[in-house]
Structure 1
Amino acid sequence: MTERTARSYVLDKPKGTFVLGDYEVPDPAPGSVLMKIELCGVCGTDVHTWQSEVETFEYPVSLGHEIVGTVEALGKGVATDYIGKPLKEGDRIGVIPAIHCHKCYFCTIAKTPEKCIDWKTYGTWPNADKKPYFTGGYGDYLYIHDPNSVFVKMDASPERGVFLEPMAIVVHSMLHAKIEPGDTVVVNGAGPIGLLTVGHAKIAGASKVIAIGRKNRLRLGLAEKMGADVTVCHTDVPEQKDRADFVFENSLNGYGADVVINTVGTAAGFAQSLDYVRDSGTVVEVGNFVDSGTMEFNPCKHLLEKGIKLIGSFDNEAEHYVRGLPIIADERLPLLDIITHTIPMGRLQESLTAIKDGTKLDGKEIVKIVLDPTL
Structure 2
Amino acid sequence: MPTMKAAVVGEVNAPWVLQDVPMPEARSHQVLVKIHACGVCYTDALLAQGVLSLRPFPMVLGHEGVGEVVAVGEGVTSRVVGDRVGLPITQRPCGRCAFCRERHPDSFVTANNCVAPVLTGVNVDGGQAEYIAVDAEGTVLLPDGLSYESAAPTVCAGYTVWAALRRADAKPGARVAVLGIGGVGHLGIQFAKAAGYHVIAMTRSPDKHELARRLGADDVVSDGAGLKAAGGADVLLHTAPTHGPAVDALKGLRPWGKLVLMGISAEATFPLPALAVTSHAFEIVGSAHNGPEYLAEALRMVARGQVTPMIEIFPKERVGEAYERLLTGRLRFRAVVTY
Amino acid at match of 2:240: V
**CA-to-aligned-CA distance 1:112-161 (integer Å, 9 cap, x gap):** 524333222111235xxxxxxxx3111111111x4763433432221221
* Residues 346-357 of structure 1 mapped to structure 2, 5 A cutoff: 346-357=317-328
Would the alpha carbon gap of residues 56 and 97 (structure 1) be closer, same or farther in structure 2, given more than 3 Å must change?
closer
Q: Secondary structure, in 3 states, of the residue corresponding to 1:192?
A: coil
* Residues 270-349 of structure 1 mapped to structure 2, 5 A cutoff: 270-287=246-263, 289-292=264-267, 294=269, 296-299=271-274, 301-335=275-309, 338-339=310-311, 341-349=312-320
Q: Secondary structure, in 3 states, of the residue corresponding to 2:26?
A: coil
Could you tell me which of 161, 168, 174 is aligned with 1:177? 168
- C-alpha displacement at 1:229, in angstroms? 1.1
Deviates more, 1:61-70 or 1:11-20: 11-20
Q: What residue number does 1:119 align with?
A: 117
Between the aligned residues of both structures, percent identity stands at: 28
Q: What residue number does 2:155 align with?
A: 164
Q: What residue number does 2:81 align with?
A: 89
Kept after mapping to 2: 8 A contact 1:180/1:205: no
Larger Rg: 1
Kept after mapping to 2: 8 A contact 1:261/1:273: no
Q: What residue number does 1:240 align with?
A: none
Distance 2:103 2:25 in 1: 37
- C-alpha displacement at 1:372, in angstroms? 0.8
Amino acid at match of 1:104: C
> Any gaps of 5 or more consecutive residues in structure 2?
none
Root-mean-square deviation (CA, aligned residues, Å) is: 2.4
TM-score, normalised with respect to structure 2: 0.88
Distance 2:306 2:112 in 1: 33
TM-score, normalised with respect to structure 1: 0.80
* Number of aligned residues: 331
Kept after mapping to 2: 8 A contact 1:98/1:317: no
Determine if the alignment matches structure 1 residue 109 to structure 2 residue 102.
yes
Distance 1:164 1:48 in 2: 18
Q: What residue number does 1:191 align with?
A: 182
> Any gaps of 5 or more consecutive residues in structure 1?
81-86, 127-134, 235-242
Determine if the alignment matches structure 1 residue 247 to structure 2 residue 245.
no
Distance 2:117 2:47 in 1: 17
Amino acid at match of 1:372: T
- C-alpha displacement at 1:191, in angstroms? 0.9
Kept after mapping to 2: 8 A contact 1:13/1:59: yes
Amino acid at match of 2:67: G
Would the alpha carbon gap of residues 323 and 37 (structure 1) be closer, same or farther in structure 2, given more than 3 Å must change?
same
**CA-to-aligned-CA distance 1:77-108 (integer Å, 9 cap, x gap):** 3232xxxxxx4322211122223234434444
Q: Secondary structure, in 3 states, of the residue corresponding to 2:257?
A: strand
Q: Secondary structure, in 3 states, of the residue corresponding to 2:141?
A: strand
Determine if the alignment matches structure 1 residue 366 to structure 2 residue 329.
no
**CA-to-aligned-CA distance 1:22-64 (integer Å, 9 cap, x gap):** 2333442232111111111111111222223575422212211
**CA-to-aligned-CA distance 1:200-254 (integer Å, 9 cap, x gap):** 2122231x10111232735x4443333211223x4xxxxxxxx333322322xxx
Could you tell me which of 41, 46, 49 is aligned with 1:48? 46
Deviates more, 1:290-299 or 1:266-275: 290-299
Q: What residue number does 1:140 align with?
A: 130
